[in-house]
Amino acid sequence: MDWFGFLFLIEVTIGGLLSGVMYALVAIGFVLIYKTSGVLNFAQGAMVLFAALTFVSLVEAGVPFFLALIISAAIMVALGFAIERTVLRPLANRSPMTLFMATLGLSYIIEGAAQIIWGTEVHRLDLGISNAPFQIAGVFISTFDLVAAGIAGVLVASLTAFFRWTRTGLAFRAVADDQFAALAVGLRLDRTWATVWAAAGIVALVAGLLWGARLGVQFSLSLIVLKALPVLVLGGFDSVLGAIVAGLAIGAAEKLAEVYLGPFVGGGIEGWFAYVVALLVLLVRPSGLFGQKLVERF
Partner 1 sequence: MSTLADTRLHSPNLLRHTPLATFLLIAFIAIPALASPYVIEAILLPFLALALAGVGLNLLTGYGGQVSLGSAAFMAVGAFAAYNIQLRLNLPLPLTILLSALTAATVGLIFGLPSLRLRGFYLAVSTLAAQFFVQWALTKFGWFSNYSPSGVISAPGMTLLGYSLDSTTARYLLALTLVTLLTLGVWAFTAGPLGNDLIAIRDNETAAQIIGVPVLKTKLVAFALSSAIIGVAGFLWAFTYLRTIEPAGFDLDRSFDVLFIIIIGGLATLRGAFLGAGLIVVFPLLLSRLSAMAFGGMIDSGVLELVQRIILGTLIIAFLIAEPNGLAAILTRVKRRFARNTL
Long-range (24+ apart) CB contacts under 8 A made by 147-154 are: 148/18, 148/21, 148/22, 148/25, 148/210, 148/214, 149/18, 149/21, 151/206, 151/210, 152/21, 152/22, 152/24, 152/25, 152/206, 152/210
Q: Which of residues 186-215 bind partner 1 (CB under 8 A)?
A: none
Residue from the set 51, 56, 278, 289 that interacts with partner 1 by CB under 8 A:
278
Q: For the CA atoms of the chain, what is the radius of gyration?
A: 20
Per-residue string for binding with partner 1, 25-44, x by CB under 8 A?
A: ---------------x----
Examine residue 241 and tell whether it contacts partner 1 (CB under 8 A).
Answer: no
Q: Identify the bridge partners of residue 134 per DSSP, sorted by sequence position.
A: 141
Examine residue 64 and tell whether it contacts partner 1 (CB under 8 A).
Answer: no
Residue from the set 4, 137, 264, 296 that interacts with partner 1 by CB under 8 A:
296
Examine residue 229 and tell whether it contacts partner 1 (CB under 8 A).
Answer: yes
For partner 1, which is the closer residue by CB, 41 or 142? 41
The one segment of 61-69, 181-189, 191-199, 230-238 that binds partner 1 by CB under 8 A: 230-238
Residue 256 CA, chain-centre distance (Å), reads 22
Within 10 angstroms of residue 64's Cβ, the number of other Cβ atoms is 10
For residue 72, give Cα distances in angstroms to 57, 69, 84, 178, 268. Answer: 10, 5, 18, 33, 35
Q: Write the single-letter amino acid at 193.
A: W
Examine residue 111 and tell whether it contacts partner 1 (CB under 8 A).
Answer: yes
Examine residue 92 and tell whether it contacts partner 1 (CB under 8 A).
Answer: no
Contact residues for partner 1 (CB under 8 A)?
40, 87, 90-91, 94, 96-98, 100-102, 104-109, 111-113, 115-116, 120, 226, 229-230, 232-233, 237, 265-269, 271-272, 275-276, 278-279, 282-283, 286-288, 294, 296, 298
